[in-house]
Every structure is written in structure tokens, then in C-alpha cells.
């Protein structure tokens, strides 16, 4: 059974009455208590409701004879591996993320034109990738930069899905656009800037469209990332995929835009049942770093990749410097094969998985 333990450590000299008071308080919230300790009393308790646990920890900490109250285990529950030891597979259109097959999402940063999107989509399909990405609503640092083509871009994505048989992932920036984006997309991307936009997380949690949750926000710790996933899961949407996309660099910005944190992959795998993919495009900001980091991501156990490509990166309206042209993307996919095989994954559905 799932439990949310707390440990209450009493100060030296706490009386039996004081001890009894704490046990009663725990019992009133449905917590069973286990008392131990000779010099100093330690009460271990297990209860069920995270909401109650927060209040309980603060309330008990206020008592003068309590030395410390320690909440054990995680502040997230539905996202945790303890809660769901069977790993989750998320189905996006006809594509599974989290199974034996490496899920590769690729496409332009922004949808710019039919020609640009279709040339990218053809390359995605021909290289054996299965999900097409493309931004329709773009979170740009400057309000004067290209903001995305909006619904026209969504229509083009839907047309590319029909033409090339790919699933579609695209970002939703605002709660007002969720219904519109979900009408076209197979997966809703929550961008790094919105990882801690809790109203947006709640609203995508109320849909039944799979969500790609990028790591970011003001405090992009792994715990906060999983708590953000918890917001979506707690609203009833169980289809969440996490995406590591790099953290701000330490200063050598000319060499890389972000620092890709590949340690996050095995760490998240040890904490959560949710699939985790890696975006080496935003994770590095440099086209020449994308393929090596993609191979490394697969080697550390990522369930998939998200990569930006463009038929002509020089002319891209956003993120050209980190976009692979089509030959470079084909080469990346070819070079991934031995890494996928070594990690026990197929590169595309139907290929052999080594024993
Ligand atoms: C993107 O995928 O184009 C994007 C804006 O990503 P991020 O939110 O990771 O910056
Ligand atoms: Mn981009």
C-alpha cells in the first residue's frame, strides 16, 4: 500500500502526555504510529494524504517539545516509481513512448511553410522516426521575433500527419489555446519556460491528450520537474512524457546555449515510472553537438529523442543554429543504430531488438 511517512523526533525530556498527544494527532489523520528510542523518542508514522501531511508537518513542528519533523519519501506520488512500479508507456497517435522502440521526434522549431514542413516530415519518415514536431505558438525571448504561425501551422501539421503517417507534437503556450491545439495535435508540449506554470499544467491535465513536459522554469530541479508532472497526473491525465532539454550554461555561452543534463535520465528512471526523452537541440544550441549528445542520451537509457531539423537551417525563422539539415539528420539516425541496439531498443517499429 502507498504511504507517505513522516518521522517525528521529540526533544529530550518529552513527557508521556506529550508523546500521547502526538500519537493522538497522528491517529486523527489516519496515521498509524510506531514509537521507538530510549534517550530521545522517535515516532514513525504512515498516512495516506499528502495534503494532510503538509499541515501535519507544520503543525507538529510548532510544538515546543518536538525537535524535528521529517517527511520521508517524495512530495510527488502519482509520478513516483513506488506508486506505479510498472513503467508507463505513453501512446501518441499510433506511437508508443517508453517501450522497446526508441521514440524519435523530429521537425522544425517553427512551422514556416508547407514546403518547409513537408520536406522535414518526409525526412523524418524516411529516416525511421515516427513523430513530427513543429512549433505553431512559439515562446520567444523577444516580442519582435517570429511568434509562430498559429492555427495555420496546426493545419499544416495535421496535413503532414495525413500525408506521411506521423504523430504530431506541438507546444501549447496558453490555457486559452489548449482546446485549439488539442484538436490538431497528438501530443501537447509544455515548454521549458512553462514547467512551473501551474494553471497551464492543471488544464492540460484535464485533457486526455498526451503531454510532453520539458524541464525548465525558475527552479528546474528534478524534484520540481516531477512535481510539475504530478500536477498533470493529479488532474487525471496519466499520459506524461518528461523531456530533458538542458539548463542554463555557466558562462561559455558562445560554445553552447545550454548544458544538457544527461544524469537526469537515470535519476528520473530511478524515481519515476514516466518515460523520459532528451532534446539535444535545445540542450546544446549547436547543430554539431546534436548527434553526439543524441547518442549519449540513448546510451544512458533515454526512451526517445526530440531533434530540430530544417531543410535549410540558414533560413530558419527560429533556432537555425541548432537545427540539423536533412543529410545531417539522416546521418544522426544511422549512427544511432548501434547505441540503440546496445541499450536494447529498436530504432523503429519492426526492427530487431537484440537479446
Ligand atoms: C521548442 O521545442 O522549440 C522549445 C521552445 O523548447 P524549450 O521549451 O525547451 O525551449
Ligand atoms: Mn526551438
3-state class of 334 per DSSP? Answer: helix
Most confident of 36-50, 66-80, 138-152: 138-152
161 or 253: which leads in pLDDT: 161
pLDDT tens track for 114-163? 999 999 999 999 999 999 999 999 999 999 999 999 999 999 999 999 99
Write out the DSSP string of 112-158. Answer: --HHHHHHHHHHHHHTT--EEE-BSS---SSTTS----THHHHHHHH
Q: Please report the atom of ligand 1 found closest to the CA of residue 133.
A: 2
**CA 308 to ligand 2 centroid distance, Å:** 7
Lowest mean pLDDT among 51-55, 254-258, 277-281: 51-55
The rounded Å distance from CA 212 to ligand 1 centre is 11
Q: Is the pLDDT of residue 79 over 90?
A: yes
pLDDT (tens digit, 9 = 90+) per residue, 291-311? 999 999 999 999 999 999 999
Long-range contacts of 126-130 (CB under 8 A, 24+ apart): 126/330, 127/329, 127/330, 127/333, 128/104, 128/333, 128/347, 128/348, 128/351, 129/104, 129/105, 129/166, 129/333, 129/348, 130/95, 130/103, 130/104, 130/105, 130/166, 130/167, 130/348, 130/349
Kindly report the number of other CB atoms within 10 A of residue 263's CB atom.
Answer: 11
pLDDT of residue 1: 37
* 148 touches ligand 1 (CB under 6 Å): no
Residue 36 predicted with pLDDT over 60: yes
**Which ligand 1 atom minimizes the distance to the CA of 193?**
8
The closest-lying atom of ligand 1 relative to the alpha carbon of residue 109 is 3
State the average pLDDT for the chain.
Answer: 93
Cα-to-centroid distance, 309 and ligand 1 (Å)? 13
Q: Mean pLDDT throughout 214-236?
A: 97
pLDDT of residue 4: 65
Q: Check residue 45 and give its pLDDT.
A: 81
User: Is the beta carbon of 139 within 6 A of some atom in ligand 1?
Assistant: yes
* Buried b / exposed e along 212-225 (16+ C-beta atoms within 10 A): bbbbbbeebebebb
CA–centroid distance, residue 338 to ligand 1 (Å): 28
Mean pLDDT of all residues in 249-271: 93
245 CB within 6 A, ligand 1: yes
User: What pLDDT is stored for residue 5 in this prediction?
Assistant: 75
Report which bound ligand comes closest to the CA of 215.
1
Is residue 318 scored above 90 in pLDDT? yes
Q: Quick one: pLDDT band at residue 90, thresholds 50, 70, 90?
A: very high
Compute, in angstroms, the gap from residue 337 CA to the centroid of ligand 1.
26
Tens digits of per-residue pLDDT, 167-212?
999 999 999 999 999 999 999 999 999 999 999 999 999 999 999 9
Residue bearing the CA closest to ligand 1, atom 10: 192
State if residue 256 touches ligand 1 by the CB under 6 angstroms criterion. no
Cβ of 192 below 6 Å from ligand 1:
yes
- What percentage of residues in the chain have a pLDDT greater than 90? 81
Atom index in ligand 1 nearest the CA of residue 192 equals: 8
- For ligand 2, the distance from its centroid to the CA atom of residue 146, given in whole angstroms, is 12
| Per-residue pLDDT at 48 exceeds 80 | no
Question: Would you place residue 355 in the very low, low, confident or very high pLDDT band (cuts 50, 70, 90)?
Answer: low
**Residues 109-120 pLDDT 10s:** 999 999 999 999
What's the pLDDT band for 352 if we cut at 50, 70, 90?
low
Amino acid at each position: 500500500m502507498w504511504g507517505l511517512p513522516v518521522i517525528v523526533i521529540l526533544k529530550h525530556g518529552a513527557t508521556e502526555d506529550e508523546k500521547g498527544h502526538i500519537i493522538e494527532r497522528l491517529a486523527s489523520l489516519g496515521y498509524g504510529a510506531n514509537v521507538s528510542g530510549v534517550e530521545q523518542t522517535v515516532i514513525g508514522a504512515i498516512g495516506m494524504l499528502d495534503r494532510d501531511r503538509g499541515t501535519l508537518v507544520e503543525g507538529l513542528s510548532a510544538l515546543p517539545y518536538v525537535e524535528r519533523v521529517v517527511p520521508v519519501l517524495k512530495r510527488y506520488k502519482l509520478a513516483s516509481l513506488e506508486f506505479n512500479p510498472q513503467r508507463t508507456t505513453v501512446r501518441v497517435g499510433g506511437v508508443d513512448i517508453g517501450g522497446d522502440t526508441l521514440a524519435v521526434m523530429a521537425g522544425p522549431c517553427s512551422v514556416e511553410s508547407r514546403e518547409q514542413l513537408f520536406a522535414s516530415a518526409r525526412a523524418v519518415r524516411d529516416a525511421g522516426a515516427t513523430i513530427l514536431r513543429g512549433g505553431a505558438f512559439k515562446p520567444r525571448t523577444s516580442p519582435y521575433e517570429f511568434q509562430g504561425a498559429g492555427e495555420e501551422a496546426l493545419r499544416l501539421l495535421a496535413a503532414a500527419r495525413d500525408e506521411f503517417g506521423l504523430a504530431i507534437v506541438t507546444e501549447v503556450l496558453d490555457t486559452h489555446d489548449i482546446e485549439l491545439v488539442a484538436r490538431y495535435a497528438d501530443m501537447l508540449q509544455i515548454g521549458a519556460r512553462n514547467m512551473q506554470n501551474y494553471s497551464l499544467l492543471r488544464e492540460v491535465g484535464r485533457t486526455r491528450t498526451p503531454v510532453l513536459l520539458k524541464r525548465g522554469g525558475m527552479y528546474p530541479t528534478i524534484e520540481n520537474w516531477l512535481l510539475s508532472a504530478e500536477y498533470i497526473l493529479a488532474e487525471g491525465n496519466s499520459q506524461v512524457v518528461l523531456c530533458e532539454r538542458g539548463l542554463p550554461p555557466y558562462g561559455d555561452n558562445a560554445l553552447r546555449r545550454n548544458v544538457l543534463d544527461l544524469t537526469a535520465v537515470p535519476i528520473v528512471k530511478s524515481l519515476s515510472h514516466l518515460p523520459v526523452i532528451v532534446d539535444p537541440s535545445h540542450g546544446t544550441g549547436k547543430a554539431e553537438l546534436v548527434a553526439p549528445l543524441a547518442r549519449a542520451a540513448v546510451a544512458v537509457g533515454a526512451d526517445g529523442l526530440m531533434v530540430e531539423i530544417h531543410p535549410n537551417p540558414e533560413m530558419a525563422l527560429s533556432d537555425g543554429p541548432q537545427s540539423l539539415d536533412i543529410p545531417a539528420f539522416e546521418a544522426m539516425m544511422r549512427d544511432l543504430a548501434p547505441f540503440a541496439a546496445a541499450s536494447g531498443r529498436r530504432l523503429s517499429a519492426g526492427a530487431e531488438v537484440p537479446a
